[in-house]
Amino acid sequence: MEITRKKVLILGPAALLVLVLLGAGIAYLTLSGEELQYKTQSALRKALPTTAAAELHSRGVTLTSPLKCKDLPGWTKDKLRASCTGTTTDKQDVQVLGSGEEKSGKSYYTILVGGRPVVQNASCLGADCRHEDG
């Protein structure tokens, strides 16, 4: 097969366009990756009582005292897991679960009041959500 000047003039720019689009796609995926708000287990555990209380307050739920938080079994450097417990002023149990995964950069939060979900698999709580909205 002979490569003529005409074929080179057609195939050259087409190949260049494919490479540019491929590079742009890779750059987009790399730069748009999510990053954890709390990068360590300690940071997640320390922030959870405040952010969860703020989230509950915004939903009209009042706590009798600050939430008490602890690490959940099975957490690792790359997979953060914490839970908090407390009581509302109307004597309902509160349970907060927070998790984050370094690999995906995603966080999930669930809050149960009286055994019922008030927040389920949210990506943020309280003031952290205002940061995401811009």
For the stretch 37-84, pLDDT in tens is: 899 999 999 999 999 999 999 999 999 999 999 999 999 999 999 999
Kind plus residue range of the DSSP H or E element containing 70: strand 68-71
Helix intervals (H) in the chain? 5-31, 41-58, 127-133
Strand, helix or coil for residue 27 = helix
Backbone angles phi and psi of 12, in degrees to 5: -60, -55
For the chain, the structural domain boundaries read 1-32, 41-133
Q: What is the pLDDT of residue 69?
A: 97
What string of H, E and C letters represents the secondary structure of 2-23? CCCHHHHHHHHHHHHHHHHHHH
82-103 pLDDT, tens per residue? 999 999 999 999 999 999 999 9
| pLDDT band with cut points at 50, 70 and 90 for residue 2 | confident
Q: What is the pTM of this model?
A: 0.72
Largest distance between two CA atoms of the chain: 85
Residues 6+ apart with CB under 8 A from 56: 62, 63, 88, 94, 111, 113, 118
